[in-house]
């Protein structure tokens, strides 16, 4: 009689110490010659595991962020810096990152999910970072109309525990067009609405890496969805008369 085998569970994607060593060395040797000589290390130890990790996380996000699903190669951020208009001519970023934009907002900011890691830290963040001028106005009008709803999402206990840092890049005064005595004044002064947490870089070496990110993205999903709600383009209703 044949014995029934228990299927083996594929380990969740994570990185090896070589990935951290590469990023730490890149910080000291940020030039094309150094990188070209080690391109195979970058592909094997960073690029390929990163794509596998993104795919794993994206599958989990089907349950709580279905509007943010894209192919892994579209979510992974390039390590090459755009130096055309920058005084900083270092050719490479010193982190490896991924950004889950909302469908339809891939070329704008909008709310989304992000992580990157360097040789020193793993940063996990969610929310809106650097919205364009039109988005910023829509967000402020939305917040002014219902500040309690936005404040409740930002103050969610689970979110604050898992992602305790709030980045707002605030103005020093109330933006033009809004009342200084508004109960939402502190939120209206924000130029970004982003929750984050910084974890030790060695977190990326653990089999629990994917779950660390997924758990925080899940907690932030209601905030991201709420912030995107005034930015989503609604389909036009066709009229026939």
Cα separation values, 185 from 131, 179, 231, Å: 18, 8, 20
Query: pLDDT tens across 159-176, in order?
Result: 999 999 999 999 999 999
DSSP string, the chain: -PPPPPPPPPPPP---HHHHHHHHHHHH--SHHHHHHTHHHHIIIIIHHHHHHHHHHHHHHTTT-GGG---HHHHBPPSB---TT-S----B-SSEEEEEPPTT-TTS--EEEEEEE-SSEEEEEEEE-S--HHHHHHHHHHHHH-HHHHHHHHT-HHHHHHS-EEE----SSPPTTS-TT-TTHHHHT-S-EEEEEEEEGGGGGSTTHHHHHHHHHHHHHHHHHHHHTTTSPPPPPP---
CATH for 17-229, among 1.10.1760, 3.40.1340, 3.30.930, 2.30.30?
3.30.930
Query: pLDDT tens across 88-139, in order?
Result: 999 999 999 999 999 999 888 899 999 999 999 999 999 999 899 999 999 9
- Kindly indicate the confidence band of residue 234, based on its pLDDT and cuts at 50, 70 and 90: low
Given a cut of 60, whether residue 240 has pLDDT beyond it is no
pLDDT score at 238: 46
Given a cut of 80, whether residue 8 has pLDDT beyond it is no
Query: pLDDT tens across 26-84, in order?
Result: 999 999 999 999 999 999 999 999 999 999 999 999 999 999 999 999 999 999 999 98
pLDDT score at 241: 38
Listed by start position, the domains of the chain span 17-229
Given a cut of 70, whether residue 208 has pLDDT beyond it is yes
pTM exceeds 0.85 for this model: yes
């Amino acid at each position: 009689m044949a014995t029934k085998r228990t299927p083996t569970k594929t380990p969740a994607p994570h990185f090896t110490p070589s990935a951290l060593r590469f990023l730490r060395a890149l910080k000291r040797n940020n030039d094309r010659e150094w990188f070209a000589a080690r391109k195979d290390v970058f592909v094997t130890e960073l690029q390929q595991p990163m794509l596998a990790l993104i795919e794993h996380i994206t599958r989990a996000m089907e349950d709580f962020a279905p509007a943010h699903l894209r192919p892994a190669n579209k979510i992974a951020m390039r390590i090459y810096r755009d130096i055309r208009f920058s005084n900083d001519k270092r050719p490479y970023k010193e982190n490896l990152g991924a950004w889950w934009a909302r469908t339809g907002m891939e070329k704008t900011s909008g709310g989304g999910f992000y992580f990157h890691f360097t040789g020193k830290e793993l940063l996990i963040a969610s929310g809106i970072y650097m919205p364009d001028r039109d988005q910023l106005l829509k967000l402020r009008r939305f917040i002014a109309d219902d500040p309690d709803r936005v404040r409740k999402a930002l103050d969610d206990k689970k979110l604050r525990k898992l992602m305790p840092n709030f980045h707002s890049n605030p103005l020093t005064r109330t933006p033009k067009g809004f009342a200084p005595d508004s109960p939402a004044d502190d939120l209206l002064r924000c130029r970004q609405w982003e929750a984050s947490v910084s974890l030790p870089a060695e977190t990326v070496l653990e089999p629990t890496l994917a779950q660390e990110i997924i758990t925080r993205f899940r907690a932030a999903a209601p905030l991201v969805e709420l912030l995107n709600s005034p930015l989503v383009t609604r389909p036009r209703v066709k009229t026939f008369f």
